[in-house]
Structure 1
Amino acid sequence: MTEPQHSTPDFISDRGPAEYFHGREKILKNFDALAETAVEEKGGSTFLIQGAPGVGKTALLDQCKKRAISHGWEVVRIGVGALWDSNNLLASLGLGEKYKGTERSTQIGFKNFFGWAFKSARPQPTVKDILKNGNKPLLLILDEAHALGHEKVPPDDYRSTAVEVLDAIHNGMLNRPVVLLAAGLGTTKASFGTLEISRYKGGCLVELGALSKGAERAVIRDWLTKEGRAKGDPTVWIDAIAQKTHGWPQHITAYADAAVNQIRNDHGAMTPEGLEVVYQLGMERREAYYRQRVDDFSGDEVIRLARLIADVGSGKPFNEGLVVEPLSEKYGLDEANKLFQKFLKKGVISADGFLYSVPVPSMHDWMKSELKRTQERLQSMKENHNSVPDGKTIGPAQDRPSSTVVPEDRNTNTQPAQSMEKGHGIQDRGVDSGWER
């Protein structure tokens, strides 16, 4: 048997269709029901999936695509521009040549007398015209749909067209089965709301979260036995990996891919030493994923958020005021709200009923550990080099605004009391936070 080696590359294919897929049965049944109803009524609607990065949105889209194709649907992936630009939609459908604006000769009765004629171009079809023109049910797949909420998307000149097209699809007014299957980050529903789409059919608005325990274990088992061709009972490794992955598809892929490579290195054996290698590499990949999630924020911004939610149980909900009120003391209310919305848009936090949470508990743990590490570094700088003035460091945990944390049951309807204290001890923007990328 070979010695375990940390030789697995950092690259993993953790985007796109899932290598092994389990779970999400209720969501898929709701999608099937919508598709069936659309065919029966020659209508359609919107099926919207939103969730944080790495939760498996694109993999779920792929499963919906496969089911639609098996039932005779035409399936087309589109970008947001296809909702208002007919040329964009035609290109997505592969119909650019068919609808190309051709010229036709129009003869005038007095041609022989005057010696002339003119040509006119066939009118460019509208997006709605194109969507109506087809014999098969049509599934439009729009990934990264939160882009509709970006500035000038759609452009001002095309906004009314986008609203009209979305309304026609959403309310089944194209006299053809057309379903828009859209997926994006946690702000996607709000983005659609700005384009007058707010009410969804039952089961057609999905807040995607972690896999169930059973589905998580089934995916890990497939990776170990089918991909890694593990010899013997993989239960111990499945248990060990599941303790680290929290049902989060990106984490499952990161650890399972490392496990497959280690098992192959050990010729099918699953050893305790090999599992330690898997743990180490999985942790490194997981941390890289977290850092990528916060890459658009300054270190101070991330540390401020970590400090404000440090007393909240990892993965447990908190109210908006716990974060926004202290931030408003530093930035002002408008900028504090913008920063909170940016955390939402980037999936660092996500809606959790009427509350909010860090959607991956282990990422919440990581943020707390980064806070502690930064505090220790700043304290060391102060003691050894006197480089951070008194009152400028990130304050100790007991100085944080008090918060009432929601009990462990995530389904509780109890709203935590908003903290009325402000953000004491948060360092000024210009002070080095010690954050390392």
Structure 2
Amino acid sequence: MNKLSHSVLWIVTVLVTACNIQPKQEPIEEVIDRGLKASTEQALLMAKELETQNGRLPKTINKEGKLETSDYSWWCSGFFPGELWYLYEYNPTPEMKKYAEMYTDRVEEVKHITYSHDVGFMLYCSYGNGYRLTGKPEYKDVMLTGANSLATRYDERVGAIRSWDFNKKIWQFPVIIDNMMNLEFFSWASKASGDDRFRKMAISHADKTMLHHFRDDYSCYHVVSYDTITGMPHKKQTHQGAADESAWARGQAWALYGFTMMYRETGKPDYLNHAKHIASFIMNHPNMPVDKIPYWDFDAPGIPNVPRDASAAAIMASALIELSQLDKSTEAKSYLDFAEQQIRSLTSPDYLAAKGTNCNFALMHSTGHFPGKSEVDVPLSYADYYYVEALMRLRNQLKNKSL
């Protein structure tokens, strides 16, 4: 054997040895189960802590490191009840059902709210999951009342749902990208009531958003304000992002989730194509970290030394799992692979809290409103909700494949 052959053999031996000593990756099924069990433990601790605090719901951790709660009127009020329903679906114990019902009841008064566009978040995540799993007719009644309340914020001249009522000197009719998330509530209401106006409002809002909220690279603005006479945009800005032209991470996540969901609900190919373009922007962004948990804004000054947003990653993962099911092209696997990477990261000690820590929230390191110096590098109720939803979606997808 000549020297070259010896060298080749040595290199091959080293490579084979290196491959053999690499730690085996934890099977994704075990990651999912570990994440759901950890979320269950934390959620039950949270539920018990607030059980005697009438009407209170978990929100975040305050600057003193203490649990911060809200009543039903805060836009995040429906997430903890919704998380409990998902965890009940995972492990249907009487205790989990008791708490899911208890905290869902605390949100009922939302059905009369007309001053907020977040009624979809508040009721569909809580009562919607409860109704899906129990079929209780009173849950349906609450949601239909709420859908009619939300419909009062729709303006036919603009063709969209008004998001906010403040800053009237700057915005005439502000619509934020988050508002896409309320359209699933309208889609449900249309089917549940037989009233097609809800579906028409949802489609009109989605079409308007698709036309005016996005840049050429399929990143989206946070806020677009419409002229109430012409129905055309007069301002495109941010409120929670780094700059008007930046890509606020959670905004991109809302967009991805919203248009994926609208394709599922309508079958309109334009929505699928739009969701795929948004996914491509997110997945291929040069500032996406190796662990796939985005910085709070893709264009934040100071990257990489800026806070992450685990909530954005959880929303993205949940949306990408669904997109991988809806898309029949060869790209579908890339969506699932990316979501799996995000779930592995979120279920690692870097983001998943140890039992009894983190004020009993499951995930650490989310960012709510960085420019406002509010909820920076803290747990958030919606991060936990979409994390658990993503875990359940992936779990169900893997189960269906094995059947």
With the length of structure 2 as denominator, give the TM-score of the two structures.
0.24
Larger proportion of helix: 2
Report the structure number with the largest CA radius of gyration.
1
With the length of structure 1 as denominator, give the TM-score of the two structures.
0.22
